[in-house]
Amino acid sequence: MKLSAKNPLVLMMLCLMAGVFITVSFLETPLKFQVPGMTLPVALELGMMMFGVSTKIQCVFLILIIAGMAVSRKKYTKTDFIIIAVVFALLLLEKFWMLPVLDERAQLLSAGKPVLSSEMHNYFIYAESAKAIFLCIAISLQFTKQKNEY
């Protein structure tokens, strides 16, 4: 049996999106708090900027992925589209609900103002983790098995 991609461009964009997303969310973010001399206000400002840019890049990738899947829709199942829809829904929740709330909290913290306890940061971590899992599933579903012809 031979594996082939349903649409190599969609596969490429999913891999690039996952790479950018995972690098920012799971590598850059925790590491910046371990840099000697990095103050909390600077780290928070950097985080707001990085997540803002990352979210925009992910939106562009998802639009291109959806367009690529639509062009070759006969190769995709409902499951493929549902998984991408879940990723898109998580991204929209982050962009329009979670990140604005977290940005406001970060600005207050940077200004030295008191901030009430909130579960929003945990919700964001759960959403990011779910998005990573769904992206990995979406990438794995890009491959189809074909019988070798002799």
Q: Per residue in 13-40, pLDDT tens?
A: 999 999 999 999 999 888 988 899 999 8
Residue 150 reports pLDDT greater than 80: no
Long-range CB contacts (< 8 A, 24+ apart) of 13-16? 13/61, 13/64, 13/65, 13/68, 14/61, 14/65, 14/135, 14/138, 14/139, 14/142, 15/139, 16/61
Tokens 């103050």, residue?
A: 39
Whole-structure pTM over 0.75, yes or no? yes
SS3 76: coil
| Residue 148's pLDDT band (cuts 50, 70, 90) | confident
| Residue 149's pLDDT band (cuts 50, 70, 90) | low
Average pLDDT over residues 66-76: 97
Q: What is the pLDDT of residues 81-108, one digit of tens each?
A: 999 999 999 999 999 999 999 999 999 9
